[in-house]
Amino acid sequence: MAYYQNKEVKFMEKKKVVIGLSGGVDSSVAAYVLKEQGYEVIGLFMKNWHDTTGLLESDCPWLEDRFDAMSVAKKLDIPFHFVDLSEQYRARVVDYMFSEYEKGRTPNPDVLCNREIKFDVFLDKAFELGADYVATGHYCRKETIMKDGQEYHRLLAGSDTNKDQSYFLCQLSQQQLSKALFPVGDIVKPEVRRIANELNLITAHKKDSQGICFVGKVDLPVFLQQKLTSKKGKVFLIDNDSDLYKRDWQQAIDNPTDEVLEELSKPFMFHPKYGKKVGEHGGAHFYTIGQRKGLNIGGFPEPLFIIGTNIDYNQIYVGMGKQTPGLYRQVLKVDKDELHWIRPDEKLKVGESRRLQIRIRYRQPLQEGIIHRREDGMYVVFDQPQRGIAPGQFAAWYVEDELIGSGVIS
């Protein structure tokens, strides 16, 4: 039964690992793998959210998750601890979400949760328990190398390409990675389920969590109304053949000057004069670029998609059909203060350019493009137009299967 029974343990002295037992199958099997590798394993469950406002069907109740995590710890014969981090989670993740949506931006709370909670506050709690490392059930891998006499930790995509979660860790630092272990990173999901089933773990057939990290699936407008006020506004339809879309994207490839990159990286500047009113909404800050559901506007040959918002005037702009040009851009910008390099030795200097692979959301296939480092930040020029680029999202760039840096789209 032991998945790692023939694998050599590469240390003489038993190391202590605190694993974040979430009550899901991935962290459950990760704890088992660590035990098989010879570590002293401690389970630690985090309570990060308990407010049910906006939750759909009471999804992801923390009490049930805690019970499942306790059951797994008992089954694996490892100590179990509980910590309440809900105050820190609200301050560092949820309040950030509210602030970003209020500005008309699209945040990714899962990325912040990993940077601010799982590998920061949780890390401190793990050290209080005497941990040498912390572990999670993320589908990604870590490799440590020596380069020019310096030790570097590489963040690699998970072996299961369908479950690779490296994108969610795109804001981690070398210090955080130095203490991180990802025990299921080289196992595919069906094998994780099989191991859990053979061990008769309570989480073996439990559905994967969805929605906001530690919160669950939410009715976003209802959830955001805890702090953001509803305000009726107008929805305008922009014609797909509008002059707004007449941008020469090829310039960014053939002639990537500072001026060209800056101009082409700007979002489309929509205005009511370019379209017609087709409905009303309850608050522009409740919506994001690329969204289709929630508008409740019918009567058109094809579905309407949000292509832009104006928070100052509380306006929403939509385009018709999946191929509406308002959804597609080929250039984006990351301001210099928002640049983050997991591998500082791979950092580009001002004036340098490099061909890499990039993604702007989880599960998006890696896209080919060139990054250009400039004085005011970094520009990403994709080989092909990208759908649904939104301010506030994280762009992450890779060298083959290694994630080397990321930044917030401006």
23: left (phi over 0), alpha (psi -120 to 50) or beta: left
395 and 277 Cβ atoms separated by less than 8 Å: no
231 and 282 Cβ atoms separated by less than 8 Å: yes
Say which of 60, 113, 140, 170 is annotated catalytic. 113
Q: According to DSSP H, which parts of 46-160 are helical?
A: 62-76, 86-89, 95-102, 109-113, 122-128
Q: According to DSSP H, which parts of 214-301 are helical?
A: 220-224, 250-254, 258-264
Say which of 60, 140, 170, 213 is annotated catalytic. 213
Q: Catalytic site residue 140?
A: no
Burial of 81 (0-12, 13-18, 19+ CB in 10 A): middle
In Å, how far are 243, 287, 321 from 326, measured between CA atoms? Answer: 11, 15, 10
Q: Catalytic site residue 60?
A: no
**Pair of tokens at residue 201:** 């773990």
**Pair of tokens at residue 230:** 């509803």
Q: Cα–Cα distance between 84 and 130 in angstroms, integer?
A: 18
Beta bridge pairs of residue 24: none
Catalytic site positions: 113, 213
